[in-house]
Chains A and B, each alone.
Chain A
């Protein structure tokens, strides 16, 4: 059952995902890698809130997009985006947030950067692109190989975003502890096992 704190975290993170898509994109490395921060928002939802709350937050975000709020990056929104070729990515968003969250919960507190990067790449890049590419192939009636080559252009940027997300998540978990379970809590010490 979701507590009122869970509900408020889910709602506020929906706002975060939207804000990251609407605020002008940051372009490090002299602007060579264009970064729309929205897919970072998806990974962050899992990496900050964990699997269940992260995925629900992304679902709420997609519902707001569907009922007509222009919250996708570039001010897109409405039902039309769900008929377009990027529908697979939209369907993949909650799955990606869930996977990133699940893996992040396995890492536990304190957050470990290399493992966090791996979690973000597995959930937010590989799983998301797998679902997105299948969706693109279905909508556009092209082969999976062709769809993969179309998607491949964005993958280096996605990996950069996955690394950045891990850095941000490390900073947030350090400044605001208690969102993911601590490693120490999960293992009951041998001398404290009840008789």
Chain B
């Protein structure tokens, strides 16, 4: 059973890796806006070529790109056919090409940016929202607790799954979900006590 949740980040030292997380996210946002406005076949082709060039600059293994392309193909190919028949091939290439380039670019940002750097960007952006009552430090704490909780609950799930097998309740979703939730809620109680002991409520 694959009960692991490794981040999608792949370490490296290319210029794409070294670029700041905020800059990469801004670039992604800009590309999204640009591709919503300009989507003629040659503009989309240029965008796709640039995204592929960036993949090459980041020196990522080809299987990273291949996995994403396979994941996209099941939706991109039928959509291209539908748009070609219903509208024109130009529309099809524009719609499908812009969506494929954006997903690949977003994937590139994720693979080349450390999770902690992303957390820092989220906390920094939340600093601008301070006047609306958002506490950036609390957001950072929640992100750290959330990442930790994924591992905690996966561990609990493993325990519950083993208990379920031991009792012979192999395919009962209820016999899995109820104990998992109750154990998780009890863990949350202890976590809450630990947080208030550290003065989070004050």
Contact = CB atoms under 8 A, between A and B. Distances in A.
Contacts of B118: 66-68
Contacts of B8: 68-70, 77-78
Contacts of A3: 192, 196, 201
B27 to A, nearest CB: 11
Contacts of B148: 11
Interface string A48-80: 100000000000110110111111000111111
Contact of A13 (B25, B99, B141, B184): B184
A97 interface: no
A141 interface: yes
Nearest to A174: B178
A19 B180 contact: yes
A172 interface: yes
Contact of A168 (B145, B152, B181): B181
A171 interface: yes
A15 interface: yes
Contact of A12 (B25, B102, B153): B153
Interface in A128-174: 139-142, 146, 164, 167-168, 171-172
Interface string A21-60: 0111011100000010100100010001000000000001
Given A22-B2, A48-B181, A79-B107, A12 B152 contact: yes
B52 interface: no
Interface stretch (A81-89, A116-124, A184-192): A81-89
B171 A12 contact: no
B152 A22 contact: no
A22 B182 contact: no
A148 B11 CA distance: 41
Contact of A11 (B71, B107, B145): B145
B161 A12 contact: no
A75 B146 CA distance: 17
Interface residues of A, number: 61
Contacts of B71: 76
B106 A80 contact: yes
A7 B192 contact: yes
A95 to B, nearest CB: 20
B143 interface: yes
Contacts of B138: 7
A113 interface: no
Contacts of A9: 185, 188, 192
A5 B192 contact: yes
B166 interface: no
B5 A139 contact: no
Contacts of A164: 173-174
Contacts of A4: 192-193, 195-196, 200-201
A40 B180 CA distance: 13
Given A16-B153, A68-B118, A61 B146 contact: yes
Interface of B: 1-3, 5-9, 25, 28, 32, 68, 71-72, 75, 79, 82-83, 91, 95, 99, 102-104, 106-107, 109-111, 113, 115, 118-119, 122, 138, 141-143, 145-154, 156-157, 161, 171-174, 176-178, 180-182, 184-189, 191-193, 195-196, 200-201
12 contacts: A4-B200, A6-B192, A9-B185, A9-B188, A15-B149, A61-B146, A66-B118, A70-B8, A79-B25, A84-B72, A140-B79, A168-B181
Interface of A: 3-16, 18-20, 22-24, 26-28, 35, 37, 40, 44, 48, 60-61, 63-64, 66-71, 75-80, 82-85, 139-142, 146, 164, 167-168, 171-172, 175-176, 179
